[in-house]
Amino acid sequence: MARQKLPPTQTLTMKIDDVDVTAKPGQTIKDVARDHDIIIPGLCYLDGLSIWGGCRLCLVEVEGMNKLLASCSTEVAEGMVVHTDSPKLRAYRKVVIEMLFAERNHVCSVCVSNGGCELQDMAVELGVDHVHLPYMDPDVNLDSSNDRFRLDHNRCIMCTRCVRVCGEIEGAFTKGIGGRGIDVRIINDLNMPWGESQTCTSCGKCVHVCPTGALVEKGTAAAEMDKRRAFLPYLTIMREAQR
């Protein structure tokens, strides 16, 4: 009997940080690295949400490319040689964090997310002990009009996780982006007070995916905001299983 042909399973081979690894087509560098216990930093990426590629913390070096690539949004290719950690990358990532701190008003000591903040953790992990850029000290408002939650633009890093979770998971599409450049802000509906939004379901997903103290539960004092981000992958898995 003739041998039956198996469906073609393409496996790519590549190198990440001098380790030979295999990958499936369509996977991103960040995914493949994580499969092999290589963790690349990042702030806008979150399991269960679409890819944004905006924070630029997961930049990696790919041999043969003359620019750095965001590992969360770059698909792997056969024979790719990737470096996720180098003095150059570490320096870039530190500058990214410093710029985030300098852009708005991040006052960790009195922030409700002190001790539970991904920006703060990232700064510690990357060894950011000074901000070398001048602080911009912008006059930024808070939106406390929602009954349960608060949006503090002072602490926002524009990762857009809230925008994505609101549209992609909750389906409410309340959160959006308004303004441009340095004036860009997270907005509710057509830039109205959150409390007046007709679309918000007050589900609180935006609060829990927010990496910093920008979206928080009201009534929390300094260092009390405990974000539970693990729910998202489970939610996605369960939905897919139902389908």
Partner 1 sequence: MSKTITIDPVTRIEGHARITLHMSDKGDVDDAQFHVTQFRGFEKFCEGRPFTEMPAITARTCGICPVSHLMASSKACDDLMAVDIPPTAAMLRRVMNYAQMTQSHALSFFHLSSPDMLLGWDSDPVKRNIFGVAASHPELAVDGIRLRKIGQDIIEMLGGKKVHPAWMVGGGVNAALTAETRDAMLAMLPEGLDIAQRTIKWYKQTLGKFDEEVRTFANFPSLFMGLVSPEGGLEHYDGYLRVTDEQGKVLEDMVDPHNFQEILGEAVEDFSYMKFPYYLKRGYPEGIYRVGPLARLNVADHAGTPIADQEMAEFKEMHRGAVLSSFHYHYARLIEIIHAIERMTVLLNDPAILDHHVRARARGNRNEGIGVAEAPRGTLIHHYKINDDGQITWCNLIIATGHNNLAMNRGVKQVAQHFVNGKKLKEGMLNRVEAVIRCYDPCLSCATHALGQMPLHIELRDAAGELCDEVRRD
| Interacting residue ranges for partner 1, rule: CB under 8 A | 109-110, 112, 114, 141-142, 144-145, 150, 195, 218-224
Nearer to partner 1, 132 or 148 (CB): 148
List Cβ<8 Å contacts ≥24 apart for 184-188: 184/158, 185/153, 185/156, 186/151, 186/153, 186/156, 186/158, 186/160, 186/162, 186/214, 188/143, 188/151
Give min distance, CB of 146 to partner 1, in A.
Answer: 9
Supply φ then ψ for residue 21, to 5 degrees. -130, 160
Longest CA pairwise span in the chain (Å): 78
233 to 6, 35, 46, 161: CA distances (angstroms): 32, 16, 9, 14
Give min distance, CB of 110 to partner 1, in A.
Answer: 4
Give min distance, CB of 140 to partner 1, in A.
Answer: 9
Give min distance, CB of 149 to partner 1, in A.
Answer: 11
Give min distance, CB of 117 to partner 1, in A.
Answer: 14
Q: Which helix (H) or strand (E) holds 206?
A: helix 205-209
Nearer to partner 1, 222 or 235 (CB): 222
Write down the residue that tokens 């030979």 correspond to: 20
Nearer to partner 1, 36 or 218 (CB): 218
How far apart are alpha carbons 216 and 111 in whole angstroms?
10
Closest among 40, 23, 119 to 75, alpha carbons compared: 23
Nearer to partner 1, 54 or 115 (CB): 115
